[in-house]
């Protein structure tokens, strides 16, 4: 069901609401009515309109006082208010604006002017809402990035402290050094991905193409992830045809495949299989698929899963920053290719990257 912009009309004369309703008859607005300033404030407790049309001359609580109360409330203050008044002096208009009104209309209301001012206020409100969403997303992003950076950093610091402990057995030191190295690589990988994404989005990323063997690259990736996969009792398998050389930016392409395989391992259940397949279509180009047997991607998520900070199925105690697939999309598109996801029967997902 489509959501139309909502307008709250506050006027003690019901006939005035009928006039406004008639003037906006062909517009796609959700109109609501409050017959007094007090009732308008009650409505705002449960309903936040996109615009308020507020009559100035009302008994008990006039429009100026209602406007001041609305603008003093942090939850309501962003709602644009158009004052509707029969007063015409500049002092009266200034009083409306001083109370916090965004605009005003003179009675009798002109239909053309009414529609234009409402559209202007709705546009301003939409820009405000978009900005708030962006700020909230940035705040969430910072929290997620800090969380993802803190985990490997904590491991590095704790392992470093243990290494300096004179009572730590020599047999334990290689294990701590390995943890430091592994966590350092995680930090570097996340930071590198963020920097590459920023460069691609800014149009400043220049790919350095070389002739590469995809079969050899996939084999190397599988070997690097075998230890991590074994800890989850996962089987990594390769499906490789006869090798062909393709032109790619090898470090960036390798990072794409690292992300896909890392995700597959992260979201796969124990004792399952992950398959990496390479194909060379007759029309040219190449594709690499990573198939897992995890929870899969819902139909609703398939259209947004490659956007920044979007995640598939939330899994408790699993870091999900929502940047890995976004990086893959940007990086593969920079190669002139594309990335897709489909269901893996009977369960799981298949992510496929293709280049021309």
What is the mean predicted confidence (pLDDT) over 93-112? 88
- With contact defined as beta carbons under 8 Å apart, do 58 and 17 qualify? no
**DSSP result, 80-129:** -EEEEES--SHHHHHHHHHTT-SEEEESSPPHHHHHHHHHHHHHHHHHHH
Is 70 exceeded by the pLDDT of residue 317?
Answer: no
Is 60 exceeded by the pLDDT of residue 302?
Answer: yes
Residue 283 has a pLDDT of 86
What is the mean predicted confidence (pLDDT) over 303-311? 68
Pick the CATH number of 135-201 from 1.10.287, 1.20.1530, 1.20.120, 3.40.50: 1.10.287
According to DSSP, the β-strands at 273-279 and 338-343 are: unpaired
What is the mean predicted confidence (pLDDT) over 122-139? 83
Average pLDDT, the chain: 86
Contacts (Cβ under 8 Å, ≥6 apart) of 138: none
Is 70 exceeded by the pLDDT of residue 321?
Answer: no
The DSSP output letter for 269 is: P
Pairwise pLDDT comparison (308 vs 63), residue with the higher score: 63
**What is the C-alpha separation between 203 and 224, in angstroms, rounded?**
31
Kindly tell me the burial class for residue 145, based on how many C-beta atoms sit within 10 Å of its own C-beta (0-12, 13-18, 19 or more). Answer: middle
Locate the domains of the chain by residue range: 6-109, 135-201, 210-355
pLDDT band at 2 (very low <50, low <70, confident <90, very high): low
CB atoms within 10 A of CB 99: 21
- Across-strand partners of 279? 287
User: Token digits for 339?
Assistant: 């990335």
The closest of 79, 78, 110, 104 to 91, measured between CA atoms, is 104
pLDDT band at 12 (very low <50, low <70, confident <90, very high): very high
Residue 145 has a pLDDT of 65
- Summarised one tens digit per residue, pLDDT across range 169-182 is 888 888 888 888 87
What's the Cα-to-Cα distance from 255 to each of 11, 58, 105, 168, 329, rounded to whole Å?
62, 66, 59, 36, 12
Residue 7 has a pLDDT of 94
Alpha-helical (H) ranges within the chain are: 14-23, 37-44, 63-71, 90-98, 111-163, 173-201, 214-231, 250-267, 299-302, 324-334
Residue 96 has a pLDDT of 85
At which residue do the structure tokens 């050094």 appear?
177
Pairwise pLDDT comparison (88 vs 64), residue with the higher score: 64
**What is the C-alpha separation between 101 and 90, in angstroms, rounded?**
14
Give percent above pLDDT 90 in the chain: 47
- With contact defined as beta carbons under 8 Å apart, do 100 and 71 qualify? yes
In the CATH hierarchy, which top-level class contains the domain 210-355?
alpha beta
What's the Cα-to-Cα distance from 251 to each of 258, 259, 331, rounded to whole Å?
10, 12, 11
**What is the C-alpha separation between 227 and 129, in angstroms, rounded?**
47
Least confident span in 79-93, 257-271, 310-324: 310-324
**pTM given for the model:** 0.54
Architecture per CATH, 6-109: 3-Layer(aba) Sandwich (3.40)
- List, edge to edge, every strand of the sheet that includes 349-355: 235-239, 273-279, 286-291, 349-355, 338-343
Q: Is 332 helix (H, G, I), strand (E, B) or coil?
A: helix
Residue 316 has a pLDDT of 46
In this chain, the answer to whether the domains covering 6-109 and 135-201 adopt an identical fold is: no
pLDDT band at 323 (very low <50, low <70, confident <90, very high): low
Give percent above pLDDT 70 in the chain: 90
């Amino acid at each position: 069901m489509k959501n139309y912009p909502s307008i709250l009309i506050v006027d003690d004369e019901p006939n005035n609401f009928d006039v406004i309703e008639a003037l906006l008859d062909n517009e796609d607005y959700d109109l609501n009515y409050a017959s007094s300033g007090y009732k308008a404030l009650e409505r705002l407790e449960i309903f936040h309109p996109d615009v308020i049309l507020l009559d100035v001359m009302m008994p008990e609580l006039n429009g100026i006082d209602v406007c001041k109360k609305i603008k003093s409330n942090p939850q309501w203050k962003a709602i644009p208010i158009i004052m509707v008044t029969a007063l015409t002096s500049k002092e009266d208009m200034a009083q409306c604006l001083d109370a916090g009104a965004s605009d005003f209309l003179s009675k009798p209301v002109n239909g053309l002017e009414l529609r234009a001012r409402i559209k202007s206020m709705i546009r301003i409100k939409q820009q405000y809402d978009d900005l708030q969403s962006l700020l909230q997303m940035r705040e969430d992003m910072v929290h997620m990035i800090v969380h993802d950076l803190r985990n490997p950093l904590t491991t590095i610091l704790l392992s470093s402290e243990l290494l300096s402990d004179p009572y730590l057995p020599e047999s334990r030191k290689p294990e701590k050094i390995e943890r430091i190295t592994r966590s350092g690589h995680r930090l570097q990988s996340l930071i590198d991905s963020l920097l590459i994404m920023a460069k691609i989005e800014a149009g400043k990323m220049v790919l350095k193409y070389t002739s590469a063997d995809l079969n050899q690259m996939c084999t190397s990736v599988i070997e690097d992830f075998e230890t991590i996969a074994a800890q989850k009792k996962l089987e990594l398998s390769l499906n490789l045809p006869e090798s062909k050389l393709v032109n790619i930016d090898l470090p960036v392409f390798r990072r794409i495949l690292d992300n896909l395989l890392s995700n597959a391992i992260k979201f796969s259940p124990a004792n399952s299989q992950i398959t990496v397949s390479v194909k060379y279509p007759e029309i040219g180009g190449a594709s690499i698929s990573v198939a897992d047997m995890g929870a899969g991607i819902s139909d609703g998520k398939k259209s947004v899963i490659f956007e920044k900070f979007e995640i598939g199925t939330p899994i408790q105690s699993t870091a999900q920053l929502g940047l890995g697939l976004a990086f893959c999309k940007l990086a593969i598109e920079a190669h002139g290719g594309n990335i897709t996801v489909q269901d893996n029967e009977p369960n799981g997902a298949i992510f496929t990257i293709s280049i021309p």
